[in-house]
C-alpha cells in the first residue's frame, strides 16, 4: 500500500476531543510511520481501536454474530499489509444480546473504559438507538450502523452517526413499487418487527400500495417466539402475499408457523431477514430435520444491495473469499461475513481519507467530504455529505431459486426517503483494486 499524497504533517491536533482546529482541515496525507502521533483516545502512534456491539447470543445472534468475524478477517488482511498509515487496526466487539439496556452498558464500557477511537457497525435499530446519545455527547464517531433505520441520518442532532446499508424506507418503496407493477392483484399482508425497522418499511411500502391492497398488518416483538396469533390473523384476512420486515430467525419461525397452519402465501422477505443459508439452517434446526435446506424458501422474493456469496464470479466475492480463507477463522464465507468485510472496507476508506493523524472530528469530516465518492462492493453509491449521513442509496429485487441462489428480477434501483423517485442506477459496476485494499486520498 502506498500513499503518495503530498505531505503536510498535522501537528496541531488537540489531545482532548471536541474542539479541534478548523483551520488545519484534517490530518496530513503522506509521511512515514515516524510522523504518527497519538490524537484522540484510541488513536495511538501505531494503532487505532475500533469497537462495536453485536448480538452474539440471544434470539438475534444467528447470522449477525458472524458479521464481526468478517470485519476481523478484513482488518487482519489490511494489517498484514501494513495497516492504515502504518497503524494496525484493532477491533473490539462486545455482546449485547440484542437488548437495548445491555447495549447502553456495553457502549459505555467501550467508550469510557476501553476508549475506542470510533464505533463501526453497531448492530440493530432498538439496540443502537440506546447508544446514540452517549456516542454523540462524547463525540465518538459512530460509523456505519448496521441497521437501515432512518434514525442514523440526522446530522444536526447526531453529527457523529452515519448509516451504511440501504434504509428500510427506501427498501419498502422499492418493494412496494415492484408489487404494484408486477403483482397488482396480490392481497398483501405485512409482517413487521414492532419498532422503527417495521415502521420505516411499512411507510415505504404504503407509498406504492394502497390501503385496499394491504389487507392485514401484524407485528411481533423480538423475543416472543409464539407467532400463532399473528400468522393465523394473516391467514384469516385472506392475504396471499406476505411482506416481512423481520430478522432471520423470524423468517424461519413465520415459515414454520405457516406450515403448521397449512398457510401457503407468497413471501417477500426484506433483505435483513432473507439470507437463504442461514434461514435454511434455522428451519432445519427448529424442525429437527423435518424441513431440510432452503426448500421452503424457494420462490421467496427479496432484495440485495451487496453481492452475495452464491455469485462466485463476482470479483468482490472472489476477493472476500480470498480474505476469508487467509484469515484462517472457522466456518465458511457467508453473506453476513461479506457484509462485515464490506463495512470494514468502507472503514479503511474513511481512515485513509481522514489523513495520517486524524482526530475523531477529522474522521467525520473526511466521511462527509469524500464518502459520497467511495467506490466499494455496494451496488449503489453512498449518500454521505455534510448534510446527509445516509448510506447506500439503492438495491435490486431478486427471487430465491433452488439451492438458495438468487435470480435478479430488476436492475439496481436507486431512490431515497420521502417522495424521491425510484430510478434505475446508471453507474458502472465496481471492481476491487488489485491489492484488495482501497486507496483513498486524504482530504484537505
Partner 1 sequence: MSDLQTPAGAPGAASDDAPSTATAAANASSAAAGGGGRSFLPKTTLLRHLLVLALCAVGAVLLLEGTERSTNDQISRIAFYAIAAGGLTLLTGLNGQISLGHGALMAVGAYTTALLLDVEDGEPLPLAVIFLIAVAITAVVGALVGVAAARLHGPYLAGATLALAVGVPGLTLYFSDTLGGEQGINVRAPRAPDWFVDAIEAISGERGQGTKWLAYIAVVSLLITYFLLANLMRSRIGRTWRAVRDQEVAAELAGISLGSWRVLAFVVSAAAAGLAGAVLAIVVRLTAPGSFLPVLSLSLLTAIVIGGLGSLFGALLGSILLVFLPEWARDFGLEVLDMESAQASQAAFVIYGLLLVATMLFAPAGLVGTVRLALLRRRAARAAARADGG
Partner 2 sequence: MEEFLSLTLGGVVSGSVYAAFALALVLIWRSTRIVNFAQGSMAAATTFIAVAVIDSGQSYWVGLVVALLAGLVLGAVIERVVIRPVEGGPELNAVIVTLGLFIAIQGAVALIFGVDQRAFVPPFSNIGYEVREGFTLLSLSPNTIWTVGAVLVTMVLLIALFRFTRLGLAMRASAFGQEVARLLGVRVGRMLTLGWALAALVGALAGMLIAGDVSFISPNFMDQLIVFGFVAAVLGGLDSPIGAVVGGLLLGLALSYVRGYLDDSLLGMAALVILVVVLLVRPGGLFSTTPARRA
Taking the complex as a whole, the smallest distance from the CB of residue 134 to partner 1 amounts, in Å, to 6
- In the list 20, 86, 90, 195, the residue contacting partner 1 (rule: CB under 8 A) is 195
Size of the site for partner 1 (CB under 8 A): 32
Taking the complex as a whole, the smallest distance from the CB of residue 116 to partner 1 amounts, in Å, to 13
Taking the complex as a whole, the smallest distance from the CB of residue 87 to partner 2 amounts, in Å, to 36
Distance separating alpha carbons of residues 343 and 337, to the nearest angstrom:
10
Check: CB of residue 96 under 8 Å from CB of residue 55.
yes
Number of H helices, E strands in the chain: 13, 14
Residue 222 contact partner, candidates partner 2, partner 1, none, CB within 5 to 8 A by sort of partner:
partner 1
Taking the complex as a whole, the smallest distance from the CB of residue 287 to partner 2 amounts, in Å, to 7
β-pairing verdict for 406-408 and 394-400: antiparallel
Strands of 98-208, DSSP E: 118-120, 142-145, 161-163, 188-193
Q: Which is nearer to partner 1, 50 or 130 (CB)?
A: 130
Q: Which is nearer to partner 1, 210 or 226 (CB)?
A: 226
Check: CB of residue 335 under 8 Å from CB of residue 275.
yes
Residue 240 contact partner, candidates partner 1, partner 2, none, CB within 5 to 8 A by sort of partner:
none
Stretch that binds partner 1, among 94-102, 283-291, 296-304, 371-379 (CB under 8 A): 94-102
Contact residues toward partner 2 (CB under 8 A) are: 57-59, 61, 97, 221, 224-226, 228-229, 232, 235-236, 256-257, 259-263, 285-288
Taking the complex as a whole, the smallest distance from the CB of residue 4 to partner 1 amounts, in Å, to 39
Packing angle of the helix pair 67-80, 315-327 (nearest 10 deg)? 80
Taking the complex as a whole, the smallest distance from the CB of residue 263 to partner 2 amounts, in Å, to 7
Applying the rule CB under 8 A, the residues between 1 and 20 that interact with partner 1 are 16
Q: Residue 380 has which C-alpha cell?
A: 449503489
Check: CB of residue 125 under 8 Å from CB of residue 195.
yes
DSSP string computed for 210-278 = -TTTEEEEEEE-TT----HHHHHHHHHTT--EEEEE--HHHHHHHHHHHHHTT---EEEE-GGG--HHH
Q: Residue 246 has which C-alpha cell?
A: 423481520
Check: CB of residue 194 under 8 Å from CB of residue 221.
yes
* Per CB under 8 A, 148 contacts partner 1: no
Distance separating alpha carbons of residues 88 and 287, to the nearest angstrom:
44
How deeply is 45 buried, as exposed, middle or buried, from its count of CB atoms within 10 A (0-12, 13-18, 19+)?
A: middle
Taking the complex as a whole, the smallest distance from the CB of residue 425 to partner 2 amounts, in Å, to 39
Residue 285 contact partner, candidates partner 2, partner 1, none, CB within 5 to 8 A by sort of partner:
partner 2
String marking each residue 43-82 x if it binds partner 1 according to CB under 8 A: -------------xxx------------------------
Residue 29 contact partner, candidates partner 2, partner 1, none, CB within 5 to 8 A by sort of partner:
none
Applying the rule CB under 8 A, the residues between 99 and 138 that interact with partner 1 are 99-102, 104-105, 108-109, 112-113, 125-127, 129-130, 132-134, 137-138
Q: Residue 25 has which C-alpha cell?
A: 482541515
Taking the complex as a whole, the smallest distance from the CB of residue 102 to partner 2 amounts, in Å, to 11
Q: Which is nearer to partner 2, 275 or 284 (CB)?
A: 284
- Long-range contacts of 432-437, Cβ-Cβ distance < 8 Å, separation of 24 or more: 432/315, 432/316, 432/319, 432/377, 435/1, 435/81, 436/77, 436/319, 436/322, 436/323, 437/1, 437/77, 437/78, 437/81, 437/348
Residues at the contact surface with partner 1, assessed by CB under 8 A: 16, 56-58, 94-95, 97, 99-102, 104-105, 108-109, 112-113, 125-127, 129-130, 132-134, 137-138, 194-196, 221-222
Amino acid at each position: 500500500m502506498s500513499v503518495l499524497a503530498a505531505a503536510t504533517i498535522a501537528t496541531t491536533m488537540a489531545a482532548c476531543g471536541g474542539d479541534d482546529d478548523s483551520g488545519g482541515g484534517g490530518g496530513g496525507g503522506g509521511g512515514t510511520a515516524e510522523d504518527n502521533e497519538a490524537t484522540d483516545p484510541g488513536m495511538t502512534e501505531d494503532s487505532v481501536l475500533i469497537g462495536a456491539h453485536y448480538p452474539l447470543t440471544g434470539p438475534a445472534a444467528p447470522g449477525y454474530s458472524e458479521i464481526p468475524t468478517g470485519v476481523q478477517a478484513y482488518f487482519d488482511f489490511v494489517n498484514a499489509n501494513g495497516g492504515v498509515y502504518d497503524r494496525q487496526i484493532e477491533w473490539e466487539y462486545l455482546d449485547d444480546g440484542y437488548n437495548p439496556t445491555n447495549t447502553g452498558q456495553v457502549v459505555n464500557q467501550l467508550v469510557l473504559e476501553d476508549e475506542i477511537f470510533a464505533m463501526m457497525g453497531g448492530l440493530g435499530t432498538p439496540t443502537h438507538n440506546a447508544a446514540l446519545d452517549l456516542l454523540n455527547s462524547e463525540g465518538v464517531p459512530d460509523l456505519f450502523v448496521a441497521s437501515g433505520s432512518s434514525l442514523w441520518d440526522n446530522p444536526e442532532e447526531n453529527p457523529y452517526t452515519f448509516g451504511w446499508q440501504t434504509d428500510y424506507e427506501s427498501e419498502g418503496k422499492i418493494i412496494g413499487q415492484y408489487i404494484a407493477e408486477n403483482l397488482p392483484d396480490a392481497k398483501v399482508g405485512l409482517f413487521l418487527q414492532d419498532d422503527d425497522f417495521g415502521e420505516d418499511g411499512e411507510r415505504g411500502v404504503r407509498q406504492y400500495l394502497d390501503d385496499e391492497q394491504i389487507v392485514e398488518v401484524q407485528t411481533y416483538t423480538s423475543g416472543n417466539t409464539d407467532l400463532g396469533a399473528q400468522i393465523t390473523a394473516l391467514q384469516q384476512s385472506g392475504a396471499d402475499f406476505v411482506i416481512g420486515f423481520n430478522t432471520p430467525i423470524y423468517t424461519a419461525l413465520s415459515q414454520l408457523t405457516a406450515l403448521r397452519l397449512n398457510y401457503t402465501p407468497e413471501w417477500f422477505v426484506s433483505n435483513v431477514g432473507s439470507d437463504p443459508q442461514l434461514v435454511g439452517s434455522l428451519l432445519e434446526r427448529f424442525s429437527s430435520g423435518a424441513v431440510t435446506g432452503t426448500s421452503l424458501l424457494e420462490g421467496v422474493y427479496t432484495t440485495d444491495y451487496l453481492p452475495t456469496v452464491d455469485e462466485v464470479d463476482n470479483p468482490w466475492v472472489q476477493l472476500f473469499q480470498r480474505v476469508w480463507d487467509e484469515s484462517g477463522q472457522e466456518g465458511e464465507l457467508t453473506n453476513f461475513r461479506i457484509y462485515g468485510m464490506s463495512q470494514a472496507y468502507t472503514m479503511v476508506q474513511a481512515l485513509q481519507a481522514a489523513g495520517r493523524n486524524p482526530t475523531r472530528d477529522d474522521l467525520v469530516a473526511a466521511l462527509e467530504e469524500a464518502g459520497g465518492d467511495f467506490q466499494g462492493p455496494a451496488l449503489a453509491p453512498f449518500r454521505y455529505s455534510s448534510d446527509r449521513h445516509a448510506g447506500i442509496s439503492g438495491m435490486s429485487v431478486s427471487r430465491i431459486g433452488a439451492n438458495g441462489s438468487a435470480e435478479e428480477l430488476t436492475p439496481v434501483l436507486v431512490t431515497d426517503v420521502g417522495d424521491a423517485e425510484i430510478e434505475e442506477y446508471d453507474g458502472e459496476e465496481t471492481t476491487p483494486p488489485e491489492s484488495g485494499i482501497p486507496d483513498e486520498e486524504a482530504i484537505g
